[in-house]
């Protein structure tokens, strides 16, 4: 075999040529040219905070938060966090904004209902701070502390705090006259305009004999307080000139908390109103063309034509009562008594409380808000359902019935879509739940 010798310098040349030859390889993946944007976080703009204390067991307190987002959809509420440090609830609402989204730059309102953690909350005044906006509410379970706090708040004319001591309404009545229930805002206006002088100190007398003060009348019977225990408190320094006297009424909610139920005001004081004795009352009955009256609010039935008579019942808001006469001053209607007898049963003829009406027949529409009779006595909640302040979801929510609970029925709405039930405070009033079978179903007594 012949061997061929290759010179050393030729070998070097060949290797250099190979190194210079082009290489064939898969094309490289290009680097991304767009950087991923990170959402922008911030604090929500809060405009108002409203405290809602539900009549429930156990106690439920909601913070209703309203504010604005800076655009129409790009910014949303990211998180809601709450913490309590002593008597301060701190609630923080954060937002997130998509920087790549295109949205109209218009302010967009929002509302959030946040359940505060009030489990085992002791008595006291609490502040709720939501992104810098503060409101307060009061939790008092001791009657002595509540009375003291109520007098202190009245003397301070702290109307915002006074609202937290009320329920959904406040009954205001003048001695020897019929009273009216006002919602919280209206009640505050009445107190400012007619009952609280800016400088006169209000003084409480815990030992005042109220029955003697009212000439033998049980003070609790005047407001028909049959859900107890109830408490009454005598005050002087009431009125715009500081010369009126008042009796404040305090009651318990179902959760054990206390609230200011109403106030009975005596112009110039109870002694002047009494003139030393009970004046004789004209209880004679006069004929009237009015056959029926419609209760526009829950109206007390008295045993005579005046609030100084004993309380024997109530005509609930929306109910119709048959009239059997009126008094000589046309200020009171005598109606058929709760036991269907004709006796001394009277309700006020104040147009804000009662108005003449015609009895509804089968071919006539029922008056607005009228509660018609029903054979159903109880309903069973099929799930957690809200209690509304009227026979429509347009009314405010005033409580709830938990799934499996039974509620006593007091009437049926005109369209049959709503049950009127006993209110959370065990009274007969405008408390309604849906009659949709998916929500409630008739049941036997518990």
- Secondary structure (3-state) at 212: helix
H or E segment at 17?
helix 8-20
Query: What gap in Å lies between CA 118 and CA 395, rounded to an integer?
Result: 26
- d(CA 277, CA 268) in angstroms, rounded, equals 16
Q: What is the pLDDT of residue 36?
A: 59
Query: CA end-to-end span of the chain, whole Å?
Result: 118
Q: What 3-state class would DSSP assign to 328?
A: coil
Predicted pLDDT at 255: 55
Tokens of 245: 């006297």
Residue in 329, 170, 351 with CA at minimum distance from that of residue 246: 170
pLDDT digits (tens, 9 = 90+) for 313-323: 778 777 788 89
The pLDDT of residue 250: 87
The H or E element spanning position 341 is none
Q: Which residue has the higher pLDDT, 1 or 381?
A: 381
Which stretches does DSSP call E strand in 20-158? 40-43, 45-54, 60-69, 75-85, 88-97, 108-115, 124-130, 133-139
Please state, in angstroms and rounded to a whole number, the distance separating the CA atoms of residues 358 and 78: 56
Q: How far is CA 156 from the centre of its chain?
A: 24
* Alpha helices for 126-266 (secondary structure H): 143-156, 159-164, 184-190, 210-213, 219-222
pLDDT in tens, 11-62: 545 544 555 555 554 555 555 544 556 888 999 999 999 988 765 556 688 9
Q: What is the CA radius of gyration of the chain?
A: 35
Give tens-digit pLDDT for 346-364. Answer: 899 988 888 898 765 444 4
pTM (global) more than 0.75: no
pLDDT in tens, 233-259: 999 999 888 889 999 998 877 656 788
* Structure tokens, 25: 């390889």
Distance CA 322, CA 359 (A): 8
Task: Report d(CA 196, CA 240) in Å as an integer.
Answer: 6
76 pLDDT band (50/70/90 cuts)?
very high
**In the structure encoding, which two tokens stand for residue 210, read together?**
């109220």
Q: Please, which residues bridge with residue 355 across strands? A: 294
| The pair of three-digit structure tokens given for residue 59, joined into one six-digit string | 């106690």
8 Å CB contact between 321 and 315? yes
Residue 430: per-residue pLDDT: 75
Model confidence at 2: pLDDT above 80? no
Q: Count CB neighbours of 23 within 10 A.
A: 4
Pairing mode, strands 292-295 and 320-326: antiparallel
Question: At 444, is the pLDDT very low, low, confident or very high (cuts 50, 70, 90)?
Answer: confident
pLDDT tens, residue by residue, 348-405: 998 888 889 876 544 444 444 556 667 788 999 999 999 987 788 877 788 889 988 9
Q: Encode pLDDT of 139-186 as tens digits.
A: 755 677 788 889 999 999 999 889 988 888 888 887 876 667 788 888
Distance CA 401, CA 378 (A): 13
* pLDDT confidence of residue 431: 85
**Would you list the DSSP string of 167-194?**
EEEEEEEETTS--EEEEHHHHHHHIIII
The token duo for 72 is 């129409």
Residue 283's pLDDT is 57
* 155 phi and psi angles, rounded to 5 deg: -65, -35
Where are the strands (E) in 175-291, listed by range? 180-183, 203-205, 230-238, 244-252, 258-266
CA distance 178 to 159: 25
Tell me if residue 112 falls in helix, strand or coil.
Answer: strand
Q: Is residue 325 pLDDT above 60, yes or no?
A: yes
- How high is the pLDDT of residue 29? 53
**Residue 342: predicted pLDDT:** 77
4-18, 65-79, 178-192: the lowest-pLDDT one: 4-18
Closest CA to 101 of 124, 141, 126, 72: 72
Say if residues 95 and 71 touch (Cβ distance below 8 Å): no
Q: Cα(99)–Cα(36) distance, rounded to whole angstroms?
A: 10
pLDDT of 144: 76
DSSP secondary structure, 394-419, as one string: TSPEEEEE-TT-EEEEEEE-TTSSEE
């Amino acid at each position: 075999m012949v061997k061929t010798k290759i010179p050393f310098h030729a070998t070097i040349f060949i290797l250099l040529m190979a190194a210079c030859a082009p290489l064939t390889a898969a094309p490289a993946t290009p680097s991304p040219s767009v950087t991923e944007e990170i959402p922008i976080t911030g604090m929500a703009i809060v405009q108002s905070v409203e405290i809602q204390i539900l009549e429930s067991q156990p106690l439920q307190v909601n913070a209703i938060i309203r504010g604005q987002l800076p655009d129409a959809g790009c910014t949303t509420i990211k998180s809601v966090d709450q913490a309590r440090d002593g008597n301060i609830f701190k609630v923080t609402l954060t937002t997130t904004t998509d920087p790549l989204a295109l949205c109209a730059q218009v302010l967009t309102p929002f509302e959030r209902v946040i359940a505060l953690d009030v489990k085992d909350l002791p008595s006291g005044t609490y502040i709720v701070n939501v992104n810098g906006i503060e409101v307060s509410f009061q939790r008092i379970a001791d009657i002595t502390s509540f009375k003291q706090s109520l007098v202190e708040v009245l003397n301070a004319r702290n109307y915002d705090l006074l609202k937290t001591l009320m329920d959904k309404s406040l009954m205001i009545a003048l001695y020897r006259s019929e009273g009216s229930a006002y919602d919280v805002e209206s009640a505050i206006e009445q107190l400012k305009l007619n009952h609280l002088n800016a400088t006169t100190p209000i003084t409480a007398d815990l030992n005042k004999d109220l029955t003697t003060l009212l000439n033998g009348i049980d003070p609790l019977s005047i407001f028909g307080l049959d859900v107890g225990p109830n408490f009454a408190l005598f005050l002087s320094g009431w009125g715009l000139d500081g010369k009126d006297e008042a009796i404040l009424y305090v009651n318990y909610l179902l959760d054990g908390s206390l609230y200011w139920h109403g106030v009975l005001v005596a112009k110039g004081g109870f002694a002047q109103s009494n003139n030393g004795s009970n004046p004789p009352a004209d209880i004679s009955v006069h004929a009237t063309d009015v056959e029926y009256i419609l209760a526009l609010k829950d109206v007390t039935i008295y045993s005579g034509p005046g609030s100084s008579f004993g309380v024997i019942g109530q005509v609930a808001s929306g109910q119709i009562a048959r009239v059997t006469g009126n008094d000589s001053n046309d200020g009171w209607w005598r109606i058929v008594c709760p036991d269907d007898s004709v006796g001394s049963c009277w309700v006020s003829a104040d147009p804000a409380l009662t108005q003449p009406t015609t009895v509804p027949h089968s071919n006539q529409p029922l008056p607005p808000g009228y509660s018609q009779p029903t054979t159903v006595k109880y309903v069973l909640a099929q799930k957690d359902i809200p209690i509304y302040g009227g026979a429509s979801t347009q009314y405010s929510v005033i409580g709830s019935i938990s799934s499996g609970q039974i509620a006593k029925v007091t009437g049926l709405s005109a369209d049959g879509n709503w049950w009127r039930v006993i209110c959370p405070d065990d009274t007969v009033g405008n408390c309604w739940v849906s009659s949709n079978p998916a929500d409630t179903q008739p049941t036997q007594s518990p």
